[in-house]
Structure 1
Amino acid sequence: MKKLWVKVLMLLSISTSIYSYAWGLAGHRIIAEIAENHLDGRARRQIKKIMGQERLAYWANWPDFIKSDKTGMWKEASSWHYVNIDPQTDFKAFEENLKAQAGPSLYTQIGVLSSQIKSDKTSEKDRKIALIFLIHLLGDLAQPMHTGRSEDLGGNKINVTYFGEKSNLHSVWDGKLVDSQKYSYTEYAKLLDIKTKDEVKAIQAGTLEDWLYDSHKIANEIYAATPNDSKLGYDYQYQFNEVMERQLLYGGLRLAKVLNDVFD
């Protein structure tokens, strides 16, 4: 964690595109903004002690920015953003496959980071880093292609054109579908965050495994609808826009649940 804040300032100034990494700038900020709206009082106070006046959305993309770091300092974190699983027939098979996987992944690190934040032995600096990563990874969990297949790197090897522009399936789901709606992240968060208290509670129910399976099932639907060399346009937006918006909302509400539990 040495020289962290120097690296932060340097990496925040990098203008390179990160759409091949995760939801993209807008998507992660939407999820973080929705989550902030659903923090309970204790979580809000504890997060303020760690983050100061900065909102969750300010740091939501930082774990993607650091992928541009050339020192190798954050290399070990590259596998935290996804968990690759072949199509599974049911939840039991999915869960068994998930738990059998070796090495750090999106699945393992959410628990690890939560424990680090809770531990009295974690330094102030490391607690902030863990919180930043947790905010980001719960967003990654909601992006279906982050629970995709290893053979195509979560859709990165599936070539498509999006309104005539060459792209890949992962990239379309990272940013292009979200950005096509032309909302700011605060506008989009406000438009999506309209569920009743009972509906929010239902969305937040379940385990981490349940939430990953939820995204995995959607990933399988996306794969089925988007073979290699697909030409995507308005019809694809029409087919999947509701799904994309659902995932943004669910990501935000479930992030809030995790943060409220962590600071309980």
Structure 2
Amino acid sequence: MKVLSKLICAAALFCAPFSAMAWGTNGHRISGEIASHYLTPKAKAAVKAILGDESIAMASNWADFIKSDDNYRYLYNWHFIDFDKSYTLPEMKAFLEKDTDVDAYTKLNFMIAELKKKTTTKENKLLYLRMIIHVVEDMHQPMHTGHKDDKGGNDVKLSWFGKPTNLHSLWDSELIDFQQLSYTEYAAAVNHTTPAQVAEWQKAPISQWLYESNQLAEKIYAEAKPDSNLSYKYNFNNIATLNEQLLKGGVRLAGVLNAIFGS
């Protein structure tokens, strides 16, 4: 009975939705791969000095993988920030100015400042760089700016081609995996920018990123009703938005790293 009980508990833990899982493994790697194409030589050298042979794409999932280690449980709230309504840009800026919670916004700003310091230890540089990579990408997954009461869409149950899932998972991985591309193929397929786009996206403050994601999250909530059975039409209507968020996440991540390590 004890063995059966342990198996049931393990299965329940495995199946439980995590509101802090953003993009899926492929989604994070796609944005990480894109970011690597926009680094300055100085930033590229600095990143390699910290990550070694680990690429940005591969480092991007460390923050999710490490959830298996209780010593890193404190990082849980760093992955997301909750918004329970649609914010205007001025409202978003005012909200963030007063934000003192442990969330993606406050901790990203903290880590950027820490990584700029010459006194930051080698161990913490590795931690902060891996987390910055992941959190910047998380902010571009719209459901990471979703509603607290439904765990960023985890409690919004629906079906994807007849298979039970939830709204958060749909945007984490279901839509991305449906394209049937490796992360390198996907990055190559969507990584088409103009210098003007890159400049505009990298110039935007973090408040702008969160405003954009918040607006998209509210649209996603409105269009995907609970118990819906979504399939080809949903993919057709939303894949361009998803691709742009993956692309923006990569371009802006490179902008952050370039600013930290100097251009």
For the criterion TM > 0.5, the same-fold answer is: yes
Equivalent-residue separation in structure 2 for 1:88 and 1:234 (angstroms) = 27
**RMSD of aligned alpha carbons:** 1.5
- Equivalence for 2:147: 149
Pair 1:86-2:84 in alignment: yes
Q: CA deviation at 1:118?
A: 1.1
- Equivalence for 1:262: 260
Q: CA deviation at 1:18?
A: 10
Equivalent-residue separation in structure 2 for 1:18 and 1:88 (angstroms) = 27
Matched positions, count? 247
Equivalent-residue separation in structure 2 for 1:119 and 1:68 (angstroms) = 29
Equivalent-residue separation in structure 1 for 2:117 and 2:15 (angstroms) = 35
Report % sequence identity: 37
Pair 1:202-2:200 in alignment: yes
- Equivalence for 2:220: 222
> What SS does the aligned partner of 2:229 have?
strand
Equivalent-residue separation in structure 1 for 2:53 and 2:260 (angstroms) = 20
> What SS does the aligned partner of 1:160 have?
strand
Letter in 2 for 1:189: A
Pair 1:211-2:209 in alignment: yes
Equivalent-residue separation in structure 2 for 1:18 and 1:214 (angstroms) = 28
Unpaired segments ≥5 residues, structure 2: 1-13
Equivalent-residue separation in structure 1 for 2:127 and 2:109 (angstroms) = 14
Pair 1:47-2:40 in alignment: no
Q: Is contact 2:17–2:154 with CA below 8 Å preserved after alignment? A: no
Q: Which moved more, 1:199-208 or 1:166-175?
A: 199-208
Equivalent-residue separation in structure 2 for 1:159 and 1:54 (angstroms) = 36
Q: Which moved more, 1:97-106 or 1:121-130?
A: 97-106
> What SS does the aligned partner of 2:226 have?
coil
Letter in 2 for 1:58: M
Q: Is contact 1:18–1:64 with CA below 8 Å preserved after alignment? A: no
Q: CA deviation at 1:84?
A: 0.2
Unpaired segments ≥5 residues, structure 1: 1-15
Give the TM-score, by structure 1 length: 0.90
Q: CA deviation at 1:230?
A: 1.4
- Equivalence for 2:32: 32
- Equivalence for 2:110: 112
Alpha carbons of structure 1 residues 17 and 128: separation in structure 2 relative to 1, 3 Å = farther
Q: CA deviation at 1:89?
A: 4.3
Equivalent-residue separation in structure 2 for 1:251 and 1:131 (angstroms) = 15
Letter in 2 for 1:24: G
Give the TM-score, by structure 2 length: 0.90
